[in-house]
Amino acid sequence: QARPLGSFCLVTLTETTQGASEFRTEGDFLIGGLFNIHEDENPQFYQIPEVLQCSSKPFYGSSYRRFQLMRFSIEEINNSSSLLPGVTLGYNIFDHCSDTQNIPGIFNILSGKDPIDPWATRHGNVTKVTAVVGAFTSPVTRTVAPLFMPSHIPLISYGASSSIFSQKLNYPSFLRTVHPNKDVVDVIVHMLQHFQWQWVAFLHIDNDYGNDGRNVFMKMIQDKDICLAYTKKLDENTNYTTIFKQIQIQNIQVIIVFATERVAENVIEFAIEMNVTNKTWIAVDAWSLNKKIPKLSGIRNIGTVIGVAEPDVTIPGFNKFIRALEIENQPGEFCNQFCNCSDLNRSEIVRAENSFNFPVYAAVHAIAHALHNTLQCGDKKCHKNSTSPHMVLSELKRSNFSLLDHTIEFDRNGDPRFGTFNIIFWNSSGEAEVVGVHKFQPSSHFSVNESKIQWHNSAQVPSSVCSSECQPGFRKSLVGIHKCCFKCVICPSSTYINSSEDQYTCLSCDETEWSPEASTACNKRVVEFVPFEDAIAVVIMVGTVCLVGLCLLTSVLFGLNFNTPVVRSAGGPMCFLVLGCLSLSSISVFFFFVKPDVASCILRYFPFLLFFTVCLACFVVRSFQIVSIFKIVTHYPSLHRLWVRYHGQWLVVLTAFILQGTLLLIMYTSAPPQPYSNSLWHKDKTILICELNLKVYSASIALFCFLCFLCFVFSYMGKELPKNYNEAKAITFCLILLILTWIVFATVYILYKGKYIHAVNASAILCSLYSFLTWYFLPKCFIIIFRPEKNTQEYFQGLIKTYNITNN
């Protein structure tokens, strides 16, 4: 993790067979490694200067505190009777102020007291170092780590959090006691989700630590409702004016600063200077516990600062150790630099930021426990007096010991399995107040007490979104490249949106479902058809039964009076055919009141179309015969004789029957009417109907209409026949009723969309049948029963004689 570049000597725990430690100005603060020393040796160390302030670099009390904590840890282990009994640890200290100056010092760590000769023949293991603790920052660690990896010398960092170090192929002997960037970013993402912040800026230092943090953050928010509205690398040439203007233009209210203490100080100082107000700042663990920034003048104006921080773990005896230090106040040369330590006192060290203290403490103790196991140490002594770095590395990977209520373990990538993160809030006193916690073990758990946070605007959590959330039933339509910027579009009827799965698409309901506008779910459609027990269905079916009964009674009456003039003039034997076909046509009515299937759909139309065609053919013949009696016989007697000789009336009826039957057979075979669930008429209902393709049945309907036309023509030709008894007029009136019936049905079918359209269709069929029964047959039944004087041969002959005299 890219931490602030301190000015303190890199401390390396090395073998000290000659009782001396070396101090070199090789770079950043780095705790060295533990090694195997002989039990009978009591190494002597040069006195370590207590203050290592390099004049060319800024002084960081937090880094110096960690340096002293490392010394305290080693002294604690050397004074322990249970850990490494009889073994004393030695170390070298280096200040990693410059890579170019410090790399030779790293080589000296590897080789002991002798410089490395790249042309010399290697004899045995030239390294004297057992393990190394450090470095603090990701860039420095990435620089020095390759020097230790070939020899599998354990390198345990307490601050380098870049993800690259989890790649064991490149860093096989690297471990760390600080959580990697992915864990820090995971806490930040949990924080953003908890407070529903979607529109954020990510400012990061331009090095391995910051760039890796940005990449991890971008990858982690890909499948979440969080958008990276703005990101910018920070370095010594950064134009903060441009950055904050862009943040203001994009209306970003939450700013993540993934940087070191030094860079974070620059960001906040410029924000105060440029009067950036009412923002929410998220600090990472590198600067969230900084003591200087919360004390800056005007810090309250920038908004609210919350962040992620290492827990404050109290190290027993450490403060006492600090107070016992003897401060060297004389200026002098140290780490190849001029140091002046006259302005440092013990209280400043105690009050310094205590972040990453426990990782330092855990790193040193992890090496000590690994050595303890490698040397096969018991309660009083160790059974081995030598070891090698790779053996220590093996034990480090298997670490499992308790330290200050923490179980120290590493996963297969060398990352810690222990520890938590605190969620902190900078209160009005400038203190980092703990308001929540994020635990990693045994499972990830994030919690925060919002009541402890004093937001800059009010008690309400500030908002940071590009577009406000859509109301239920509205879908998101993206505006621009960010998924957080959208407009809300209402979902139309018969669609719904499931925001938990897809916020951008209105899904269509199934055919059996419906929904109004702005729906989040579909409702089941009510399935409707007219059943037998429906009141209207009962009335129509009773009417149908009555029609069949009347046809039967009429047939009986005509049979009893078969030789009378009324029956003979009505058609004689053909009357029984017509009455029978009327009865058979009525069968269709009953199948309109069952749940549609293929069979019922066929029987709704087939009997009516076939048998009513026979009825029409009979009336065509009867109309022609009436006209023939009064007009054609006189003018065309030979034509009349042929008609009678070859039974023309029956040939016409039979031809119509065969032709219609053939057409219906072909059409019902090729395209039978199908049951159809009509969901177009009503949004909340499904009407079960029979779908009839009128184009397919056009030939049959055309024959039906053609017979009606012929019947009407012949009937009209007989309009001047005897007034008192005119069959043609009766047939004409029946045809007019028939035509009116189907015109009314067509009008209703167009205007009315409901389940009772079946009842209307059945009523049209029934009315068609009743029109001929009531206006053609029942008047004749009336004459037979109530006016028998008109049912005589003399009466009919008188009508004909009167007609002939009038027209002659």
pLDDT at position 344: 60
pLDDT at position 26: 32
User: Which structure tokens are listed for 494?
Assistant: 């018969």
Which amino acid is located at 400 in the chain? Answer: N
pLDDT at position 36: 22
pLDDT at position 46: 27
Residue 728 neighbours by CB under 8 Å, 6+ apart: 623, 626, 627, 714, 715, 716, 717, 718, 719, 721
Cα–Cα distance measured from residue 303 to residue 125, given in angstroms and rounded to the nearest whole number: 57
Q: What b-and-e string marks burial along 731-748, b requiring 16 or more CB atoms within 10 Å of the CB?
A: bbebbebbeebbeebeee
Alpha-carbon dihedral sign for residues 482, 488, 494, 499: positive
pLDDT at position 804: 57
Cis peptide before 442 (omega within 30 of 0): yes
- In Å, how far from its chain's centre is CA 73? 51
* Closest residue by Cα to residue 350 from 375, 383, 325: 325
- In Å, how far from its chain's centre is CA 805? 94
Cα–Cα distance measured from residue 620 to residue 717, given in angstroms and rounded to the nearest whole number: 12
- Which pTM value belongs to this model? 0.66
Residues of the chain below pLDDT 70: 1-60, 92-128, 325-345, 628-640, 642-644, 718-726, 797, 799-808
Q: What is the pLDDT of residues 447-498, one digit of tens each?
A: 999 889 999 877 789 999 999 889 999 999 999 889 889 999 999 988 999 9
Cα–Cα distance measured from residue 257 to residue 234, given in angstroms and rounded to the nearest whole number: 10
DSSP character string of 768-791? HHHHHIIIIIHHHHHHHHH-GGGS
Cα–Cα distance measured from residue 475 to residue 709, given in angstroms and rounded to the nearest whole number: 58
Three-state SS for 803? Answer: helix
SS3 annotation, 593-614: HCCCCHHHHHHHHHHHHHHHHH
Cα–Cα distance measured from residue 689 to residue 675, given in angstroms and rounded to the nearest whole number: 6
Three-state SS for 686? Answer: strand
